[in-house]
Amino acid sequence: MGAFLLKRLGRMLGVLFVISVIVFFIFNVMPNEPAAQIAGKSATPELIAQVEETWGFDDPLPVQYLTVMELTFTGELISYTRQLDVDEEIWKGLPATLSLCAGAAVIWLFFAVLFGYLSAFRAGRPTDRVLMLVSLVSISLPIFLVSALALNYLSYKLELFPSSGYVGLTEDPLDWAYHLVLPWTTMAVLFIGLYARVLRANLLEVMDEDHVRTARAKGLGERQVRVRHVLRNALLPIVTLFGLDFAALIGGAAIITEYIFSLGGIGQLTANSVADLDLPPVMALSMLAAFFVVVFNALVDIAYTWLDPRIKLERSR
């Protein structure tokens, strides 16, 4: 087990390094005039010169890379366009983003398991067909459509929910949830269909396996067979999938959702920075999100070995 862990961590570090190189390349090497772009739209020649100095544009590439990495990781990145401290903004935005992602995840997992379970155990029958149609629609829905409809009808016309703003959990839990209901639902809708379909497929596969027959032969009740011997086994791949998706949320659906609902998290920070073509925050956030994905995946991978005994022992050999 120890050797496997080391190998996994080693690989992870390798990936993180290559990611940092790629991000560096995208923002500092690839553009036509990187210093000018980083300095921003309204940059004066003096500012551009200052950026060139700080970011080491006159140095050879490897040195430049190290300079930029140092800037990023010591929290010294500044947004020139908006005069902000990048890492401060990131810290400020984290609670909102995490609240959004975690809440949406809980909702979508709940419904996905419910739909997937019902579909699989009534496969071919009306319930299944309806749920699978709903799932298909769900995975095709662009977040724009859902949020447009939600904002307009539920928030504006019917005034059921607020249309924007984030309230901290510690300030007022009820208000916190109230402001997040629409964003949560908007994000959850996208993933429910996907997960329901995957779970359904897994369940159908597991249902045919020998150990399910044994469970019935032991005299277990049908519900017990389904939950302890079919569902439990079918959920395993979902864990990995979820690990991938959750981490990717931060760099994906969260950005657009936060922007549309003005939640002020790091997703909105990204969106605003893009709109202003403000590169330093985008660079920092790209790296942060990618790092998070890689680290989170590694953790999920390790956790998976604990969940599936077959893997655990395979790896310790």
Partner 1 sequence: MEGSPRRTALRRLRGDRGAIAGLALFAAIVVFVLAAPLWANHVADTGPNATHTTEKVEVDGEPREVVSVEGTPVGPLWLGAGGKFFLGADGRLGRDEMVRLMYGGRTSLFIALTASLIATLSALALALLAGYFRGWVDAVISFLLDVIWGFPVLLLGIALGTALAVGGLDLGPISISAGSVWIPTLIGGFVFASYIARPLRGEVLALREQEFVKAAVAAGASPWRVMLRELLPNLWPTAIVLFTVNVANMMLLEAGLSFLGAGVQAPDASWGTMIAGGFELIFSSPLLMILPSTLIFLTVLSLNLIGDGLGAALNPRSRATIEAHTGRFEPKREAA
Partner 2 sequence: MSAVKSAAPVLEVDGLRVGFANEAGVTQAVDGVSLELGAGEVLAIVGESGSGKSVTALSIMGLAGAGARVEGSVRLEGQELLGAAEEELREVRGARVGMVFQDPSSSFNPVYKVGNQIDEAIRAHRALSAAETRELTLQTLGAVGVSDPERLAGNYPHQLSGGMGQRAMIAMALALEPTVLIADEPTTALDVTIQAQVLALLARLNRERDLATILITHDLGVVAEVADRVAVMRTGRVVEEGTLDQVFYEPRHPHTRELLEALARLGRPRAGTASPTGEEGR
- Residue 93 in contact with partner 1, rule: CB under 8 A: no
- Residue 275 in contact with partner 1, rule: CB under 8 A: yes
What does 178 bind: partner 2, partner 1, none (CB cut-off 5 to 8 Å by kind)? none
- Give the residue with the Cβ less far from partner 2, 41 or 211: 211
Q: Binding residue for partner 1 (CB under 8 A) from 104, 120, 225, 271? A: 271
What's the closest the beta carbon of residue 203 comes to partner 2, in angstroms? Answer: 15
DSSP per-residue codes, the chain = -HHHHHHHHHHHHHHHHHHHHHHHIIIIISSSSHHHHHH-TT--HHHHHHHHHHHTTTS-HHHHHHHHHHHHHTT--EETTTTEEHHHHHHHHHHHHHHHHHHHHHHHHHHHHHHHHHHHHTTTSHHHHHHHHHHHHHHH--HHHHHHHIIIIIIIIS--S-SS----TTT-HHHHHHHHHHHHHHHHHHHHHHHHHHHHHHHHHHHTSHHHHHHHHTT--HHHIIIIIIIHHHHHHHHHHHHHHHHHHHTTHHHHHHHHHT--SHHHHHHHHHHTT-HHHHHHHHHHHHHHHHHHHHHHHHHHHHH-HHHHHHHH-
Only segment of 27-35, 92-100, 226-234, 283-291 that touches partner 2 (CB under 8 A): 226-234
- Residue 308 in contact with partner 2, rule: CB under 8 A: yes
Binding mask 215-244 for partner 1 (x = CB under 8 A): ----------------------x--xx--x
Q: Which residues bind partner 1 (CB under 8 A)?
A: 3-4, 7, 14-15, 18-19, 22-23, 26-27, 30-33, 37, 136-137, 139-145, 148-149, 151-152, 156, 194, 197-198, 201, 237, 240-241, 244, 247-253, 255-256, 259-260, 270-271, 273-275, 277, 279, 282-283, 285-286, 289-290, 293-294, 297, 301, 311, 314-315, 317
Q: Which residues bind partner 2 (CB under 8 A)?
A: 209-211, 213-222, 224, 228-229, 232-233, 236, 307-310, 313
